[in-house]
Amino acid sequence: MTRREIKVYQNLMGENEKWAAKTRSVLAEMGITMLNIIGSPGSGKTAFLEKLAKEIAAEIPFAVLEGDIATTRDAERLTEKGIPTSQLLTNGACHLEAKLVHTALLDLPLDTLRLVIVENVGNLVCPAEFDIGEHAKIAALSVTEGEEKPVKYPLLFTEAQAVFITKVDLLPHLQFDIETCIQAIKQINPTVPVLQVSPLTHQGMDECVSWITDFVIHE
Amino acid sequence: MTRREIKVYQNLMGENEKWAAKTRSVLAEMGITMLNIIGSPGSGKTAFLEKLAKEIAAEIPFAVLEGDIATTRDAERLTEKGIPTSQLLTNGACHLEAKLVHTALLDLPLDTLRLVIVENVGNLVCPAEFDIGEHAKIAALSVTEGEEKPVKYPLLFTEAQAVFITKVDLLPHLQFDIETCIQAIKQINPTVPVLQVSPLTHQGMDECVSWITDFVIHE
């Protein structure tokens, strides 16, 4: 019984890997970079992408694949900013899987794009476990969530190639020590770049734009 | 192949239900109420329980089962407040399952308790899918997460018997309309009580304490 259960999990994971590999092939062929932004509900992922549209859309044409459990609200927000956006609904599942991402990717106007950003389902845990064919994961952590979250939810911070600490405009109103948070991140992933950002006040946006631009250029 | 996969999922779920039923038997026998608090990372679940200790521990003796993926930090915080607390580590899993809860429950000093509060893993999605034998789920939603989260993550808000909107002390610093949030909750669950609370300023603590006390007394 136990052996049969293990087999099934291996099959499911293999299926996901297969679609992730197909996505990587398409991205390589078209010269497109794919980023996978992961963070809790309300960590400011969509607000960041709205702001990013103004900053880099002219230089680096990009589209967004917007992962949610239900509703098309986030895709509507981004479409209003002029970003080609598709909504990926998981209908209850807590993360995006590679097959859904692959299907949506093929429907994008790929020959006009240099970058695809996947905004994963709001969840600090499960999305980090599923390879969707991305070149890098970015962890989004809001200052309202507490300094110790990286050690409490280590997988995402281990896998991330950049950490964006969001909503830093709220720091004056919180009992949140940013140095303690950065130490917690470095404890899990000593070399990862940590950027502080507030899309609302623009603080740190230039640094995030630079990180993304450099990553796209060197990928 | 497909049939075998379905069978396995049924077995796992059946296994979980079996342990949840055992927990319900123990709780009934001992006259103990169990609450399951679910919310995103950083939604203020532990801070609420720290405050609750001062408010009701004398009247309603309670223990906490503290669910986390890694670290014993939250259990340490609650133990410092004099609350009997056990740490349940999922070692990577995104939710608590009934067997782990049951095992930990049996190790508590049950004959001294009237209430057990389970603080689930920080995650607005998966914990709502797993029955752990509780009498009620409480949804914790922070004002920093955005008004629309109940419609984007509907399962928890459908299942919850109360919603605590937390960190309301931050409202003056946020673009968050509490009435819009309450409407979003009522759209998903028209009759659920919605309470506003800030453990930091004590605002709304009395109403939350009353709700919990009434629920324990009438259960």
Do residues B67 and B118 touch, judged by C-beta distance below 8 A? yes
d(CA B63, nearest CA chain A) in Å: 22
d(CA B75, nearest CA chain A) in Å: 12
State the pLDDT at residue B13.
Answer: 57
Cβ A144–B40 below 8 Å, yes or no?
A: no
DSSP state of B169: G
What percent of chain A clears pLDDT 70, i.e. is strictly above it? 94
DSSP state of B96: -
Do residues B36 and B126 touch, judged by C-beta distance below 8 A? no
Do residues A77 and A46 touch, judged by C-beta distance below 8 A? yes
Cβ B125–A94 below 8 Å, yes or no?
A: yes
Of A42, A121, A170, the CB nearest to B149: A42
Which of B1, B5, B38, B40 should we substitute to test contact with A (largest number of A Cβ atoms within 10 Å)? B40
Of B73, B74, B152, the CB nearest to A68: B152
DSSP state of A30: H
Residue B17 has pLDDT above 70, yes or no: yes
Cβ A123–B121 below 8 Å, yes or no?
A: no
Residue B2 has pLDDT above 70, yes or no: no
State the pLDDT at residue B10.
Answer: 43
Does A71 contact chain B (CB < 8 Å)? yes
Q: Which pTM does this prediction carry? A: 0.90
Do residues A166 and A140 touch, judged by C-beta distance below 8 A? yes
Cβ A152–B70 below 8 Å, yes or no?
A: yes
- CA angle A146/A150/A151 to nearest 5° reads 105
Do residues B118 and B132 touch, judged by C-beta distance below 8 A? yes
Backbone dihedral angles phi then psi of residue A167, each to the nearest 5 degrees: 60, 35
Per DSSP (E only), the strands in A95-190 are 115-119, 136-142, 162-166
Which of B89, B145, B159, B187 should we substitute to test contact with A (largest number of A Cβ atoms within 10 Å)? B145
pLDDT digits (tens, 9 = 90+) for B21-54: 999 999 999 999 999 999 999 999 999 999 999 8
Q: How far apart are alpha carbons A55 and A81 in whole angstroms? A: 11
pLDDT digits (tens, 9 = 90+) for A168-197: 999 999 999 999 999 999 999 999 999 999
Q: How far apart are alpha carbons A138 and A144 in whole angstroms? A: 18
pLDDT digits (tens, 9 = 90+) for B110-121: 999 999 999 999
Cβ-Cβ contacts under 8 Å, B5 against chain A: 8, 11-12
Q: Which residues pair with A117 in a beta bridge?
A: A35, A64
Residue B1 has pLDDT above 60, yes or no: no
Q: How far apart are alpha carbons A96 and A137 in whole angstroms? A: 13
Q: Which residues contact A18 (CB under 8 A, 6 or more apart)?
A: A98
State the pLDDT at residue A4.
Answer: 42
State the pLDDT at residue A219.
Answer: 80
pLDDT digits (tens, 9 = 90+) for B52-73: 998 998 899 999 999 999 999 9
Residue A118 has pLDDT above 90, yes or no: yes
Does A3 contact chain B (CB < 8 Å)? no
Cβ B41–A144 below 8 Å, yes or no?
A: no
What percent of chain B clears pLDDT 90, i.e. is strictly above it? 90
Of B5, B121, B144, the CB nearest to A42: B144
Q: How far apart are alpha carbons B196 and B45 in whole angstroms? A: 13
State the pLDDT at residue A13.
Answer: 57
What percent of chain B clears pLDDT 70, i.e. is strictly above it? 94
DSSP state of A44: S
Counting one residue from chain A and one from chain B, the pairs whose CB atoms sit within 8 A come to 122
Give the residue among B121, B124, B208, B200 at the shortest CA–CA distance from B167: B200
Do residues A103 and A2 touch, judged by C-beta distance below 8 A? no
Judged by average pLDDT, the poorest of A189-193, A214-218, B4-8 is B4-8
ipTM: 0.86
DSSP state of A191: T
Cβ-Cβ contacts under 8 Å, A11 against chain B: 1, 5
Distances (CA, A) of A53 to A60, A78, B13: 10, 8, 43
